[in-house]
Structure 1
């Protein structure tokens, strides 16, 4: 089955009364919320895009000039979202086999989430698929068109949720690492949080955990990553007043995710590639050097060096100090000259980073 048979219903018909502004046209960068969703689905390859309008329809039509979408007007939009779902569903092309039900007030859905739902739909043969983030069900669900008539026949009491509850045996919760499936914008503070989330382009701590679980990272390695994040945060706090160009959120995320491929050969590179594929280029760049790094004495401290150092100050999930860690590593590799050279190179890099910190702060480094 090709994605050419999949549609999306973007529901943008309501009053946005709690927001005290019109949600579909709220800006995200240079585009509006409804445009952001359209572009996401187009990027994923969805051709059947239906935008259900009601309140301020003319403003939405003007904003969407140039987009290849179907505008469906719901004259009964005052009755609530379910009436808009029914109106949009009745307009969907008969060649469509399933549709994403996408409220406009959940605008930052990632392409990877759409892909995860679609892949599960193809391989698991379920009729309703919900994106689930750390056990919490979110939007958009992907719904098979076999339920079209049931939805259209409903009196609307309890909304779409009530209709789909009857088919829970045909439903599947799909784990995703995308917290935005839970992030709607009912009020102004919600919108501000979404804007910040988008600008950062950095996974939250909760998303980092979800990414680790998605990559089947064992619990002991998760605890190690959390310990490294704690250490790198401590080191960062000690140097943050010196004006270094290091983003704390990106650094913390890199620390939490640095070992997502630990069970594979060349895990630093493999992990970096996975993060880049998810759109986290900066995090991937930091992760790639956490095993081996070239420290330049006369350049400012950077995030790569801080992660490398923090990783060398933690043994499993406890702070141990780099001397203890390297002493243990050298002893373990006695008789293996190449391994000893590699370990010694990393030891020298660790000492060089500590020296940079001491020169910067004018204090003896004693963390770990």
Structure 2
């Protein structure tokens, strides 16, 4: 897969300057417990010749998003090392053992400084998601004037990533435990726009077997 990271043309920037802006929050803080004691860190598994978390960050950077914030926690020194030369904001979540909600709230609060109308929540362990997928979701958010939740689906089945409008800020910051945004989406009362991205919306790599099946090489193996 070719990963494009070039800057947007000047005329494109002018066209989108008045449209709702989106910040990406890349969640990379999880403990990867399903990898087993000798399975290595899933986000350091090699895909396309680079650690998965770096590849995910490059995909995010290549999109039409205004900024990319990476939330780190477990083995954060190793994660930071493979991202050190990238123009992304890295935020530590000291409460990462408490579950995904703490990382989501950490990233959502950090991205608030970027003055965007929506936050695209992207999981770093989903190798099938492409820059084009992210851009189609951002376009759908803009088409809804920033008032709709946008959710990636696979053949109609809900998945990830998702874009959450800023109107959900307080509700997101109240999330607790090992939960994501699914319940919030279902109870928000906001319109939900589904964007079909195929199997990528459902494929994450939580085990060494899943990494291999998705075309990667687990960290620490040849």
2:132 to 102, 108, 112: 112
Cα shift readout 1:48-99 (whole Å, capped 9, x = no counterpart): 1111011111111111111001111000000011111001111112412111
1:274-304 deviation digits (Å, cap 9, x = unpaired) = xxxxxxxxxxxxxxxxxxxxxxxxxxxxxxx
What SS does the aligned partner of 2:194 have? Answer: strand
Closer, same or farther: CA 64–94 of 1 in aligned 2, 3 Å: closer
* 1:100 aligned residue (105, 120, 123): 120
Preserved CA contact (<8 Å) 1:36 1:108: no
Answering whether residue 79 of structure 2 is matched by residue 68 of structure 1, we say no
Aligned counterparts, 1:321-340, within 5 A:
none
Structure 2 CA distance for aligned equivalents of residues 43 and 94 of structure 1: 17
Q: Which residue of 1 aligns with 2:143?
A: 123
**Equivalent residue, structure 1, for 2:153:** 132
User: Quick one: structure 1 residues 166 and 156, their matched pair in 2 at CA, closer, same or farther if it must change by over 3 Å?
Assistant: farther
Structure showing the higher strand proportion among its residues: 2
| Unmatched segments (≥5 aa) in structure 1 | 197-368
The structure showing larger relative contact order (alpha-carbon pairs under 8 Å, at least 6 residues apart) is 2
From 159, 166, 179, give the equivalent of 1:145.
166
Unmatched segments (≥5 aa) in structure 2: 1-15, 217-222
TM-align CA RMSD: 2.0
Aligned to 1:284: none
Match of 2:27 in 1: 11
Q: Is the 8 A contact 2:100 2:178 kept in 1?
A: no
Output the TM-score relative to the length of structure 2: 0.80
2:178 counterpart of 1:162? no
Contact 1:50 1:70 in 2 (8 A): yes
Partner residue in 2 for 1:286: none
Question: What secondary structure, in the 3-state scheme, does the structure 2 residue paired with 1:14 have?
Answer: coil
How far off its partner does 1:122 sit?
Answer: 1.5
CA contact (8 A) 1:4 1:48 kept: no
Measured in 1, the distance between the counterparts of 2:178 and 2:42 equals 24
TM-score, L = length of structure 1: 0.50
Q: Secondary structure of the equivalent of 2:160?
A: coil
Identify the structure with the greater helix proportion: 1
Q: Count residues with an aligned counterpart.
A: 195
Q: Deviations over 1:330-352 (max 9, x none)?
A: xxxxxxxxxxxxxxxxxxxxxxx
- CA drift of 1:154 comes to 3.1
Query: Distance in 1 between the 2:201 and 2:180 partners?
Result: 19
Counterpart position of 1:261: none
* 1:82 is the counterpart of 2:98: no
